[in-house]
Structures are given as C-alpha cells and as structure tokens.
Amino acid sequence: MTPERVLALAGLPTGPSVALSGGSVSDVHRIGRWVVKCHPDAPPGLFEAEARGLRTLANAGARVPAVRWAGPEGLVMRYLAPGPADPVGLAEQVARVHRAPADAYGWPSPVFLGPFPLPHSPTSHDWSAFWRTHRIEPLLKATRSRLGRLGPAVDDLLDRFEPPAEGPCLIHGDLWSGNVLASAAGPALIDPSVWYGERAVDLAMMRLFGGFGPRFWQAYRALCPIPDAVEESLPYHQLYFVLVHVYLFGAGYLGHVADIVHRYR
C-alpha cells in the first residue's frame, strides 16, 4: 500500500510525496495539505484505533491533527506546520486530557501500544487488578523468553506493590516527547494509544525518556498537583513501556527492567 493509494481511497488528489518520521510501525509521508500513514504489515485495526484516539483527545480539548480518513490501509490527517515550542500550553492540554472523567478503567475498542495489540478487556474499577491482568501480563507473556530470571522478579513485584489509584481518566497512553508536535497553531499530540486509566501511566512515559522540561512540569503541577504516592509509582508504571521495548527491540532494555524491580525491593 502506497501513500498515493491511501489518498485515493480517501477521495483526495495526490501530489509530490515527502517522507516524514514515523516511528517503529508506519511509513509517514506529507502530500500537500495531508499527512498519510501506511504500512504493509501494520496490525489489523491499528489505523482505525489511532483515528479514534485522536478524535477522543480532540473532544477532550487537546490539539491534534484533524483526521480526514482512516481504514485498514492507512490514515490521512491534516498537516500541521511547525512552530515554536510552548511547554506551558502543552501542560494545559495534558491537564485537560487528564481531567476528562471516566466511569471505569478500560476502553471499548481495540488498544495498541505501538504495534503491540493488547487483548480486549472488560472494564474494571480495580486499578491494580486491571493493570496487572490486562496491561502487564500480556506483555510478560510476549517477553518471558527474553526476561529469563527477571520474569519471576517481575511477578514478585506485581504481587508486592499496590499502585495508588486516583481514579480513571482519559490518557494519551504513549506520551513521550516524540509524540508531541510544536506546531504553528500550538502544541499538538500525535500517535496516541488512548484508553481510560490512571494518569500515572502518562506521567511515567513522560519521565521515561525525558523531553518535558521544568517549565512544563511547573505548569502541569500548578493545574494537576502530583501526590507523593503517585510520584513513587512512576517507575512501576514504566514497566509497561519498558516491556514493550523489550518485545520490539530486544535485550538492550533488560537492564531497565532490572532497575525497576530493584527499586521496589
């Protein structure tokens, strides 16, 4: 599947194509006013899930690229011209997302963490059980052969540590600095893995690879203070993202798994 073919499916004219950065799954191209994502080996449902996530974030007050078309073949979004960084404006958007209320943990449609499809799960009011059963254990199953002796250590951590629960809210689900655009219209969020969870999941990913500086955190904390117990749980919640990196990229991330396990001994 080519970007030009995806544009044709969306009923849009084609033109010169410029490759953009697209992460570990999609081929991403700009064609005129549009950004087109496609890939011949993308998991079924991936692009439709991303479109739903973008629309949900927009409804919660976040700036995102407007979705024009989504299907099994790819995704077409409006191109956002680059602009200056605005950490305070970004903090306001993330705070609006995290203030979006939810009745329970979960999501009614498929969820992907990068290209990894998470099994469909029932909603739950028990964060610890939902997190372990429907988020961590699928990743443990996929990575156990690589984890070796770290596998039982992670199991033990899950048995011992009870994460704090502030209550379900909307989360981006994969909020690292590479999924933030500094656009001429202001900060925008891209490539979401949207579901209803604890905001600690987003905070954990934001801390994992950095890129959100002091001005962002000062503004975010003023809007949404972070309790000490939530701060302490962030490495625990990073396990979700580290395990998917073990699955996608291999043993280079095992040291980070070990660091998380040892932190809570």
Rounded Cα gap, residues 66 and 69, in angstroms: 9
For position 23, what pLDDT does the model report?
Answer: 58
Same domain, 36 and 141: no
Residues 6+ apart with CB under 8 A from 150: 254, 257, 258, 261
In 3-state terms, what secondary structure has residue 178?
helix
Same domain, 108 and 127: yes
Q: What is the DSSP string of 71-127?
A: ETTEEEEE---B----HHHHHHHHHHHHHSB-SSBB-SS-EEETTEEEPP---BS-H
Same domain, 73 and 102: no
Same domain, 74 and 91: no
Same domain, 47 and 143: no
- When divided into structural domains, the chain yields a total of 2
Q: Is 174 a catalytic residue?
A: yes
Domain holding 30, by residue range, is: 3-78
Rounded Cα gap, residues 155 and 157, in angstroms: 5
State which of 58, 78, 98 marks the end of a domain. 78
In 3-state terms, what secondary structure has residue 213?
coil
CATH assignment of the domain containing 8: 3.30.200.20
Same domain, 194 and 126: yes
Same domain, 244 and 167: yes
State which of 15, 50, 78 marks the end of a domain. 78
For position 211, what pLDDT does the model report?
Answer: 92
Residues 6+ apart with CB under 8 A from 55: 64, 67
Quote the tokens at residue 20.
């953009």
Q: What is the DSSP string of 17-68?
A: -EEE--TTT-EEEEETTEEEEE-TTPPTTHHHHHHHHHHHHHHTT---PPEE
Q: Walk along the chain (265 residues) in steps of 10 and give the mean pLDDT of each run.
A: 91 91 78 93 93 98 97 96 97 97 95 95 96 98 96 97 97 97 97 98 96 97 98 98 96 96 94
CB contact at 8 A, 168 and 98:
no
CATH assignment of the domain containing 171: 3.90.1200.10
Same domain, 36 and 58: yes
For position 24, what pLDDT does the model report?
Answer: 63
Same domain, 60 and 95: no
Residues 6+ apart with CB under 8 A from 166: 198, 199, 200, 227, 230
State which of 57, 78, 99 marks the end of a domain. 78
Same domain, 147 and 253: yes
CA angle 174, 231, 179 (to 5 degrees): 20
Same domain, 114 and 200: yes
Catalytic residue among 27, 174, 191, 202: 174
Same domain, 32 and 129: no
